[in-house]
Structure 1
């Protein structure tokens, strides 16, 4: 894939550039000035800014810019496994492979019927990459930025093999927060969850909201369509709306684990919270010729507008 010149539209913008690492990236902008940046390495969303230019996703200051693996932060795709539970690398290979742009180069009119600017990416394994996977599939990812600044990711995976395809999936999403100790997570009350710190014991959430005072690594089962992250200091609420993703992962490494991670600053855990829409507890089994879709929409609203009937 060659070097691209910027491509602009008078209402929204699609810009294609090449990072210093040599990896192409795409920037979407809406008419109000919000933006989303996507790396073709892993189809990873590396930035999401509102119309005031404020960054909404966390990215580690110690992320390795020339690495061939997904950087710590943003939104990355975990597929075909989550964690170390499968036969391939941690969180799967999709996040560490170069994706292609399906409409290459993108049309000047990259809008859907709702007026969103978007980019469509395709992951289709080469013969060499098929060594990592016994299954043949097509994975399409649409990243879309709406006129109101909300961000959507829609994944469609088709099994083009002659055998059933079993996989796990997650959108690993690092939200930028003012201080993790001032954050509340609502929408997971009374749910069962698997605690990976105890070794994967099953618990039931007892509180009316989740607050953070220590390391958290949980998978909540049968979670609702919409979950809210309330950042009191910034008076900002993130709404996470999901479809086809029955589980929710909640993760923060806290101080001790942060110090042991080479790609995360010692104190950076204070300014991040991972809340992932996922399908982990019961992996997806896709029959030959069938397609699965999983969608997440991220919306930011002032906390004063938040109510329990979101």
Structure 2
């Protein structure tokens, strides 16, 4: 890796890679969970929320950034005995490749099944997380392959925590007309608001989402996804946030999770089949 485009660093004593494109855009990616914890567009500020009380350590889930959820989303998926949000976000990945072009830089991390994961989930798999930065754009792609002969199913997500100045003033556009499940109220409806607002605990899974726009004061972030059939929108609200040990009790106001996901219908991969899903974030400028 070059010293300028891909720097090996440490965050709370854990190895990470800082990826920087020629125009100055950068992302910081932990080897722990292949988790992006910072995205700074060229000439801009960090666009992701990372809890100041997050603990980055082996076996720990890191509160913020973009946790990789696989092969189980919460308790929804093929195997409810698995840890919440799966196997990958608390384990060390390895750097598979990196490259820098004239307008972007890209890093790919890989995780192959181990004896430890097979003891929890008896399947062979390969997962790759590719992170690409360019100017005001961040691309995240999760690739999954079944190298074995036995089919298996999974649910997954890129659990993206976006920073906001005040979530009660933020607006999320692009959900109108989409079916959703409200997991707080255990209800199912069709979204009828052109601009979604947030005033407390919010936890919904929407289907058929492709293109969203986050408005946060003058800031605009375009959020698109491909390969992912669902999107999860989540904020813990004041009461649940106060109960979280790794997050300041007032910080629910400063984050909104907009997650590319596959939740409602598990994805099944047969022998040697593969799947990928991408989420792209673009900070819009005037």
- Fold shared by both chains (TM-score > 0.5): yes
Scaled by the length of structure 1, the TM-score of the pair is 0.87
Query: What is the deviation of 1:20?
Result: 4.0
In structure 2, the partner of 1:7 is: 2
CA distance in 1, matches of 2:132, 2:55: 26
Matched residue pairs, number?
Answer: 283
SS of residue paired to 2:238? helix
Say whether the 8 Å CA contact 2:141–2:279 is kept in structure 1: yes
Separation in structure 2 between the aligned mates of residue 184 and residue 205 of structure 1, nearest angstrom: 14
Whether the 8 Å CA contact 1:41–1:96 is kept in 2: the answer is yes
Alignment of 1:85-104 (within 5 A): 85=76, 86-103=80-97
Q: Give the 4+ runs in structure 1 shifted more than 6 A.
A: none
Equivalent position of 2:249 in the other structure: 266
Residue matched to 1:136: 124
Work out the CA distance in 2 between the residues paired with 1:298 and 1:172: 13
1:29 aligns with 2:20: yes
Matches of 1:128 and 1:281, distance apart in 2: 27
1:173–1:274 CA contact under 8 A, matched in 2: yes
Shift of 1:33: 2.1
Counterpart contact for 1:33–1:53, Cα < 8 Å = no
| SS of residue paired to 1:96 | coil
TM-score after normalising by structure 2: 0.94
Of 232, 236, 239, 2:219 maps to 236
Q: How large is the RMSD of aligned CA atoms in angstroms? A: 1.6
Provide, for residues 188-225 of structure 1, a one-character-per-residue CA deviation record: whole Å limited to 9, x for no partner: 101110110112x21111111100112100000111x2
**Is 1:81–1:91's contact at 8 Å kept on the other side of the alignment?**
yes
Q: CA deviation at 1:53?
A: 4.8
The alpha carbon displacement at 1:55 in A equals: 1.2
In structure 1, the gaps of 5 or more residues are 1-5, 306-310
Quote the Cα distance in structure 1 between the aligned partners of 2:43 and 2:96.
31
Q: Which runs of 5+ in 2 are unaligned?
A: none
Aligned counterparts of 1:68 and 1:227: Cα–Cα separation in 2: 33
**Structure 2 equivalent of residue 300 of structure 1:** 283
